[in-house]
Amino acid sequence: MAAKSGNSKVGSVMVVGAGIAGIQASLDLAESGFYVHLVDASPSIGGLMPQLDKTFPTNDCSMCIVSPKLVDAGRHLNINIISNTEVDFVEGEVGNFTAHLVNHPRFIDPVKCTGCGVCKQHCPVTAVNEFNEGLDRRAATYIKYPQAVPLAYAIDRETCIGCGLCEKLCLAKAVVYAEEERRSTLEVGAIILAPGNEVFDPTAFDTYSYAHHPNVVTSLEFERILSASGPYQGHLMRPYDREEPKSVAWLQCVGSRDINHCDNGYCSAVCCMYAIKEAVIAKEHSHEPLDTAIFFMDMRTYGKDFEKYYERAREEHGVRFIRSRVHTVDPVEEGRLKIIYTDEEGKSLEEEFDMVVLSSGFQPSKRTVELAERLGIELNEHNFAETSSFEPVKTSREGIFVCGAFRDPKDIPISVMEASAAAAAAAAPLVESRFTLTKTKELPAERLVAGEEPRVGVFVCNCGINIGGYADVPAVRDYARNLPNVVHVEDNLFTCSQDTQEKIREVIKEKDINRVVVASCSPRTHEPMFQETIREAGLNKYLFEMANIRDQDTWVHQNDPQGATQKAKDLVRSAVAKAALLDPLEQTVLGLNKVALVVGGGVAGMVAALSLADQGFPVHLVEKTGELGGNALKLRKTWKGEDIGSYVKDLVARVQSHEHITLHTNTQVVANTGFVGNFDTILEKVDDPEQKTTVQHGVSIVATGGKESRPTEYLYGEDDRVLTALELDSRLKEDGNGFKNVNRAVFIQCVGSREPERPYCSKICCTHSIESALQLKELNPDMNVYILYRDIRTYGFREELYKKARAKGIIFIRYSLERKPQVSNGSGSLQVQVYDPILGRDLVIPADALVLASAVLPNEAKEVVRALKVNQNAEGFFLEAHMKLRPVDFGSDGLFLCGLAHYPKSIDEAIAQAQAAAARAATVLAKDVITLGAVKAVVEPDKCAVCLTCVRTCPFGVPYIGEDGYAVIDPAGCHGCGACVAECPGKAISLQHFTDKQLIAKTEALLLKEIGEAAAGK
């Protein structure tokens, strides 16, 4: 095989930086057949996300959603975590790189360390705790946080006094004082850079009093203040006197959109949303009504569901939004602070607050910049990695890719998306070496538990203070001890942490446990992880049950600790009752069809198809119209000025000539059956419904796209001089000279977006209008160009375009929803009337051209929704499995999404998302078998009366009457809903893991008292 020859490519990838982006890229690569070396300078992986309290716009607990990913990466057989390590330099080329690493000493051997913490307890040194942003102290022997992966301590030799106590006390003999810096090398085929950003340090802003006043904190410090695992255990307190503040102010754009105090002219893209989130969460944490005010220039809530979050914060939570620029923050008496600011009308005003949060922006750290220089990666003027819009994750050096905030400032979902995209891009040149370096897992044989008495182990989680802060966890634990069949109970600070998994495995063996109950959060998020843990201890994974005592108990009964404790006991009792009746189940293993179906032939669909085809997977690309290219055919340039027309032409040519792509134009999807790995989809010619084709495939990618809405206001359709943004693009593309005679052009933003009937921001229009305005200015430099806007949302480096537009004399006038511009053409010319808040009066602008930035709508794609059974949100965009960490997966396995069908986005984001969808799809297609879940309906032939009820009931059409004269349910097709089970009049069908007996036991055990009475009455 080629793998043996001298010039073969190495089947491993080095990922530099183990934040959420680095972790996602590693997981995707490791799941699709590549061995991953995940290198991070820190002693543990996770990056910034573990420091955050909640995440917008769902308010998910950041630690809770990232923790399963940390554990997945930590225990993945094909991910080698190399902590405390930096990359010195890299030799070689794509396929055969040699990476030279510097391994800094940790002074504690992570393999021997058990994470018991004895060293930390006895360490006499106190040092600044960086994880809590310096708000409290830690010992010199430390671990960043309890869920850290790898779960091993480190010694901070900067502060260590060398007393040797920890070495004497460590039972594992893990302390290695004499450890020295080492150098090592790795052979890898490709490299992904995901070093992230650092948060801007506002010390230099002397007028904001940050350096010398404890009650002026950065947004990251405030995250730690809010966090249950933070310095104040989640109690809202101000650092000055540990009193609860009654008023908190947020100052936006600190270290962003600022070239006076710093060089960061760009927008950091996330601060508006996190400030709103912090204000809402702070109000929730506060015992007294808390006054919150956000001082901002433009409110940039441009992402999916962000605008609704902003509306809710304002309308429901009463967060105040003050459009202003803050001049000074002055300390006044009793730790309070006076904010002096200028409002929109230019008036100088002041207001006092108990606490001030500086919404600090992002920038690449000095270390990252130096790394990039050593690797020979081109950087842009702001020191971020330079990339093109058409190859968003490719750096200037072949074989080295980039993702996350080092490409441009961005939020978690887009980082995760790009991480998957980088995985796809890194995999493409290494396809021939897939599975050459990966290892396979050796699981212990499953213990036979049939016939054994149930021996249940119960693990009750405190979840920091998320559970323990409201319910009496020790009481729940002690209560569980006396339940029938329970042989072991314990409570954990975090049951999901890596050390607890180890503990669970040990206890299972030690006490011969054959059923495990975890009382913690939701089985929807954490059950798979715990099931894997017990499987590693030799138990069948179905011998597991969860009690949801957080999401559905302590979080929803925060004001009723007694009620919450009682409910937790009841839920645990109910789970134990079901656990006793659990049976080990066998999972079906099936082959799979290594073929993909991509629906939609726009840029996203084509990129996804090519990305998979380049990896050697056959793809069926379905396009409803006769032409590939979608919206991109109408676009002129990217905001960076790259020509879209030639890119699309090239893309179409590659798709049409690719040996692995089968193109189906004028075709739509009409029906789909099957499940991940084995789908059958019926395609139909749009103009000839009789012409049908069935394709067999293992995954589907939905890229059905979107469109520009038709405005219903501002004389659109009544006056030829009123155009939409795309119509202007088309005219500029055909012949821009027509605009040379235009003296005045007006753009109106948010036409049909951010309105009550369409409450989302279309994200791309601010940048697009500014780019078009600049083009008009170029055609006729004397033209007066006006942009009427509500907030200018030129996030990230797009801010440069906004700056350029102002420098070129384009006039920006803000309007509000209550006072929208009026357009008339009574006297022959177009007249745009708008209230100018700076001048404080109405202006009338005679216009030769009026351009409407109309909303971006999703294409209806009804047939796709029906056939694939995928969900849409209220606005018709497709719903991803998890907004933060699964941005391109659908809820059902084997289905992925990308492009405008997900949400309005620019072409570079659509391309990255399409590559991401391909990477996620490749994690399925790369495998040889699919292991199905065992939650399936099974028929007892003797009881079947062949009444056909199940055949009629099943929403997926799976049951049929077999040759032997009874109903047959193919486990491969069964979705495990159990509808047939409930309907079967003869009780011939049962749903494994959700049997009648199990569910009734669970129901009855939920109300103990009544059961007692019922028993007594019998």
Partner 1 sequence: MSEPFEPKMLAFLCNWCAYAGADLAGVSRFQYPPTIRVIRTMCSGRVDPVFVVKALQSGYDATLVFG
Residues 6+ positions from 689 with CB-CB distance below 8 Å? none
Distances, alpha carbon 95 to alpha carbons 10, 17, 135, 771, in Å:
6, 20, 46, 39
- In the bound state with partner 1, the residue whose beta carbon lies nearer, of 557 and 664, is 557
Q: Considering only residues 862-891, where is the footprint of partner 1 by CB under 8 A?
A: 891
Among 284, 351, 713, 719, binds partner 1 (CB under 8 A): 284
Strand-pairing partners, residue 675, are: 678
- Report the C-alpha gap between 109 and 115 in whole angstroms: 11
Among 151, 564, 607, 695, binds partner 1 (CB under 8 A): 564
Distances, alpha carbon 701 to alpha carbons 189, 303, 878, 916, 930, in Å:
28, 22, 12, 11, 18
Task: Report if residue 559 touches partner 1, rule: CB under 8 A.
Answer: yes
Distances, alpha carbon 83 to alpha carbons 42, 102, 453, 632, in Å:
6, 11, 44, 43
Task: Report if residue 790 touches partner 1, rule: CB under 8 A.
Answer: no
* β 182-188/96-103 pair status: antiparallel
- In the bound state with partner 1, the residue whose beta carbon lies nearer, of 177 and 555, is 555
- In the bound state with partner 1, the residue whose beta carbon lies nearer, of 58 and 662, is 58
Give the contact letters, 891-920, x = binds to partner 1 (CB under 8 A), - = no. x-----------------------------
Size of interface with partner 1, in residues (CB under 8 A): 53
Task: Report if residue 558 touches partner 1, rule: CB under 8 A.
Answer: yes
Among 270, 571, 669, 805, binds partner 1 (CB under 8 A): 571
Q: Closest approach of Cβ 526 to partner 1, in Å? A: 11
Q: Closest approach of Cβ 978 to partner 1, in Å? A: 3
Q: Which range touches partner 1 (CB under 8 A), out of 164-172, 289-297, 544-552, 695-703?
A: 544-552
H or E element in which residue 524 lies:
helix 523-536
Q: Closest approach of Cβ 17 to partner 1, in Å? A: 28
Token reading at 721: 């001089």
Among 566, 631, 769, 915, binds partner 1 (CB under 8 A): 566
Task: Report if residue 994 touches partner 1, rule: CB under 8 A.
Answer: yes
Task: Report if residue 560 touches partner 1, rule: CB under 8 A.
Answer: yes
Task: Report if residue 241 touches partner 1, rule: CB under 8 A.
Answer: no
Task: Report if residue 286 touches partner 1, rule: CB under 8 A.
Answer: no
- Report the C-alpha gap between 560 and 553 in whole angstroms: 10
**Dihedral of CA 291/296/298/300: which sign?**
negative
State the DSSP string of 568-597: HHHHHHHHHHHHHT----PPPEEE----EE
Task: Report if residue 663 touches partner 1, rule: CB under 8 A.
Answer: no
Q: Which range touches partner 1 (CB under 8 A), out of 204-212, 548-556, 782-790, 893-901?
A: 548-556
CA 813 to mean position of chain CA atoms: 35
- In the bound state with partner 1, the residue whose beta carbon lies nearer, of 299 and 571, is 571
- In the bound state with partner 1, the residue whose beta carbon lies nearer, of 113 and 944, is 944
Q: Closest approach of Cβ 979 to partner 1, in Å? A: 3
Tell me if 830 sits within 8 A of 722, measured CB to CB: yes
Task: Report if residue 287 touches partner 1, rule: CB under 8 A.
Answer: no
Q: Closest approach of Cβ 999 to partner 1, in Å? A: 6
Compute φ and ψ for 54, nearest 5 degrees.
Answer: -120, 165
What are the b/e assignments for 23-33, b being 16+ CB within 10 Å? Answer: bbbbbbbbbbb
Task: Report if residue 981 touches partner 1, rule: CB under 8 A.
Answer: yes
Q: Which range touches partner 1 (CB under 8 A), out of 219-227, 454-462, 726-734, 997-1005?
A: 997-1005
Task: Report if residue 948 touches partner 1, rule: CB under 8 A.
Answer: no
Task: Report if residue 570 touches partner 1, rule: CB under 8 A.
Answer: yes
CA 413 to mean position of chain CA atoms: 3
Residues 6+ positions from 925 with CB-CB distance below 8 Å? 32, 592, 594, 595, 596, 612, 617, 698, 699
- In the bound state with partner 1, the residue whose beta carbon lies nearer, of 61 and 191, is 61
Residue of 30, 28, 29, 24 whose CA lies nearest to 47:
24
Among 434, 557, 569, 820, binds partner 1 (CB under 8 A): 557
Q: Closest approach of Cβ 567 to partner 1, in Å? A: 4
How many H helices and E strands in the chain?
24, 51
Task: Report if residue 945 touches partner 1, rule: CB under 8 A.
Answer: no
Tell me if 340 sits within 8 A of 325, measured CB to CB: no
- Report the C-alpha gap between 166 and 172 in whole angstroms: 11
* β 12-16/35-39 pair status: parallel
Strand-pairing partners, residue 545, are: 517
Task: Report if residue 966 touches partner 1, rule: CB under 8 A.
Answer: no
Task: Report if residue 563 touches partner 1, rule: CB under 8 A.
Answer: yes
Task: Report if residue 999 touches partner 1, rule: CB under 8 A.
Answer: yes
What is the layout of strands, in order, in the sheet containing 811-814?
722-724, 849-854, 744-751, 784-789, 811-814
Q: Closest approach of Cβ 299 to partner 1, in Å? A: 22
- Single-letter amino acid code for the residue at 481: R
- Single-letter amino acid code for the residue at 190: A
Q: Closest approach of Cβ 717 to partner 1, in Å? A: 40
How many CA atoms lie within 13 Å of 1015's alpha carbon, on the beta-carbon side? 8
Task: Report if residue 676 touches partner 1, rule: CB under 8 A.
Answer: no
Among 469, 616, 759, 976, binds partner 1 (CB under 8 A): 976
Task: Report if residue 340 touches partner 1, rule: CB under 8 A.
Answer: no
Task: Report if residue 567 touches partner 1, rule: CB under 8 A.
Answer: yes
- Report the C-alpha gap between 629 and 53 in whole angstroms: 42
Exposed, middle or buried by CB within 10 Å (0-12, 13-18, 19+), for 274? Answer: buried
Compute φ and ψ for 313, nearest 5 degrees.
Answer: -60, -40
- Report the C-alpha gap between 567 and 547 in whole angstroms: 10
- In the bound state with partner 1, the residue whose beta carbon lies nearer, of 726 and 979, is 979
Q: Closest approach of Cβ 1007 to partner 1, in Å? A: 5
Q: Closest approach of Cβ 519 to partner 1, in Å? A: 14
* β 60-61/54-55 pair status: antiparallel
- In the bound state with partner 1, the residue whose beta carbon lies nearer, of 336 and 557, is 557
Q: Closest approach of Cβ 551 to partner 1, in Å? A: 3
- Report the C-alpha gap between 415 and 406 in whole angstroms: 10
Among 551, 727, 848, 940, binds partner 1 (CB under 8 A): 551
Q: Closest approach of Cβ 319 to partner 1, in Å? A: 16
Exposed, middle or buried by CB within 10 Å (0-12, 13-18, 19+), for 1012? Answer: exposed
Q: Closest approach of Cβ 242 to partner 1, in Å? A: 24
* DSSP state at residue 878: B
Task: Report if residue 234 touches partner 1, rule: CB under 8 A.
Answer: no
Q: Is 677 left (phi over 0), alpha (psi -120 to 50) or beta?
A: left
Q: Closest approach of Cβ 353 to partner 1, in Å? A: 25
Among 553, 614, 684, 708, binds partner 1 (CB under 8 A): 553
Give the contact letters, 572-611, x = binds to partner 1 (CB under 8 A), - = no. --x-------------------------------------
Tell me if 341 sits within 8 A of 330, measured CB to CB: no
- In the bound state with partner 1, the residue whose beta carbon lies nearer, of 626 and 891, is 891
Residue of 498, 493, 530 whose CA lies nearest to 515:
530
Give the contact letters, 42-61, x = binds to partner 1 (CB under 8 A), - = no. ----------------xxxx
Contact residues for partner 1 (CB under 8 A)? 58-61, 284, 522-525, 548, 550-553, 555-560, 563-564, 566-567, 570-571, 574, 891, 935, 953, 955, 976-979, 981-983, 991, 994, 996, 999-1000, 1002-1004, 1006-1007, 1009-1011, 1013-1014
